[in-house]
Amino acid sequence: MNKQDAEKEINHLRELLRQYNHDYFVLDDPSVTDAEYDQTMRRLLDLEAEYPDLVTPDSPSQRVGAEPVDAFEKVQHRVPMLSLGNAFNEQELRDFDRRVRQGVDSDITYVCELKIDGLAVSLTYENGQFVRGATRGDGTTGEDITSNLRTIRSIPLKVKDQTTIEVRGEAFMPHKSFLGLNKDRDERGEEPFANPRNAAAGSLRQLDPKIAARRNLDIFLYGVGEWEDGELEAHSERLDYLKSLGFKTNPEWKKCATIDDVIDYVNKWTVERPELNYEIDGIVIKVDNLEQQETLGYTARSPRWAIAYKFPAEEAVTTLTGIELSVGRTGVVTPTAILTPVKVAGTTVQRASLHNADFIEEKDIRIGDAVAIKKAGDIIPEVIRVIMEKRAEDAEPYAMPDDCPACGSELVHLEDEVALRCINPDCPAQLQEGLIHFVSRDAMNIDGLGEKVIAQLFKEKLVQTISDIYRLQKPSLLELERMGEKSATNLLNAIEVSKNNSLEKLLFGLGIRFIGAKAAKTLAAHFRTMDALSEATYDDLVAVDEIGEKMADSVVRYFAEPHVTELLEDLKQLDVNMIYKGPELSAPEADSPFNDKTVVLTGKLENYTRNELKETIEAMGGSVTGSVSANTDIVIAGEAAGSKYEKARELGIDIWDETKLQDVLNA
């Protein structure tokens, strides 16, 4: 094939893939099988590899092609992204309608849209090509997150008209993606995201686009900022035009002739919003006619022609009938409230998070109490307060047990930790959770070996240790419930494939305390083999960029355990790879503001989750610890910063608020 023929086929394949993506991610109506899509993409990748000068930024192959960035550049919005005024009840909606009618002489038609609970973004297209994406920021200045937005497959990299336009929308995380992400974080021992909005915002502020790509975000476009060719007369016409260009718009919008129609729409979605597969926190009401919008104008902060109705927070009161304790793979004992079933946000809730012993003590939660619960982000149930006036006189304060509920060993309260922990290495609950972690996606990624299968294998004593996984035989598997010939064969094949994983996968799967997926890769890339790592001293380990004191101490302690030596020797005999196969890791920039700095995070941050910020700081050469000491270089303090903030002041440590943090990251 010559270059001319290759270019012709490449263009054809790109058009096919754009159509397939639009059908699947925008219309939710797949037009080809996954296999056919993959085959088409593979052919495009092969041709682009053969003719790299034919690769273009709008090619479907370039969704996750960007390298990680050091920081986000600032973007000035030429047309400000204003916030909306709020209405919280029917009367306030009628007041809005009255103000609109006083300002406009002619008839009014409204457009009602679902208010997506995500992150507002702007997308700029020049001659039909996606060239820049930015956060709303303060409405005037946002951050350039183009590389991360390119990973959202419902955002077209090229639109049908060769137009220059800036469009606005809300990036969000669907429920399925959110639940899957939190499950993965829980398996890795990381703090889960509180709600889909925080998860979406945290994902789009990742410095590495590959992380954002794994989060499976989506978007709805709802408006236009700057537009050279704009000649339409109504907001509803703009929504239709955006859809015709290939953008994903929310299909539930509706034109309403009266405020009564608006209120009917609001009432409908107040009831039906639990049926959606994404979060909404209200309804946006806009005057449809664009000329009338201009007549009504703006206040200093918001348009007079639009308002956001905010749903009331939904709570329910029920009885806490018991507290159940579970033991995780690291031995942490977690309490869960058992409730009299009650309906919240459209679903029946019987269990709710109690977090830890300090949470129970702080809220004075007792068995038998009437409690108010809500769903955090309308998904995760949690107890928010006790109804004290309903408390029985004989209600006793709840005391966490002294012994592990799974094995009976004495529980310990380690320094600087809130949680109680079982430190018995033979605790069955920890062993089972450890096995689940070992086979999880970011660890050894053994397909078909999920929680239920592990539970069966553990119960039948077919698998008690990690090495037992690699001794499984088909006859034993076939005795398990719902395990057929094909499933058993596929599972054994997946186990065999996992033997060839690079060292960091095995290292993370072993579940060494404080060693997450990133630290595992750093250690594997530095030491190259399991033998070299197992022989490393504390000084060897702390000399590695991004490996802190706690990590180093944990690694040394882990490899000093006799049972670990036996396990690794066992795995070697079973042909499990112990060598790093990945690329060399680049060191942080020499002028990084966090290079060789020890950082403590405290208080509530508005624009960052704690774990996402921790990853960013560590990627920039810093070490994040949990307590303030004379060795601390920087304390980053959000709202309601407590004792750590005061201690930092006493020690004269440099304290940053969120504004300074953003300035440093954006510098």
Q: Which residues are catalytic?
A: 115
CA dist 284 and 264 (Å) reads: 14
Nearest Cα residue to 503 out of 491, 494, 512, 492: 512
Sign of the Cα torsion 565, 571, 577, 582 reads negative
The token pair at 505 is: 């996968």
Specify the residue for token string 């088409």: 40
DSSP 527-564: H-BHHHHHT--HHHHHTSTT--HHHHHHHHHHHHSHHH
321: Cβ–Cβ under 8 A, 6 or more apart, which residues? 338, 339, 340, 367, 368
C-beta separation of 10 from 18 below 8 A: no
CA dist 265 and 112 (Å) reads: 8
Instruction: Enter the DSSP assignment of 641.
Output: -
C-beta separation of 533 from 507 below 8 A: yes
C-beta separation of 280 from 220 below 8 A: no
How many other C-beta atoms lie within 10 A of the C-beta of residue 417? 12
**Backbone Cα Rg of the chain:** 28
361: Cβ–Cβ under 8 A, 6 or more apart, which residues? none
| Strand duo 654-656 + 74-76: pairing | unpaired
CA dist 251 and 593 (Å) reads: 45
496: Cβ–Cβ under 8 A, 6 or more apart, which residues? none
Nearest Cα residue to 577 out of 516, 643, 654, 499: 499
Residue 330 CB-half CA count within 13 A: 19
Distance between the two ends of the chain, CA-based, in angstroms?
Answer: 48
C-beta separation of 104 from 295 below 8 A: yes
Distances (CA, A) of 560 to 43, 166, 197, 564: 50, 59, 43, 8
Question: Strands of 165-172's sheet, edge to edge?
Answer: 129-135, 119-126, 165-172, 218-227
CA dist 543 and 541 (Å) reads: 5
Sign of the Cα torsion 441, 170, 202, 591 reads positive
Q: Hey, what amino acid is at 557?
A: R
Angle formed at CA 177 by CA 171 and CA 179, multiple of 5 degrees: 125
DSSP 57-77: TTSGGGTT-PPP-SSPPEEE-
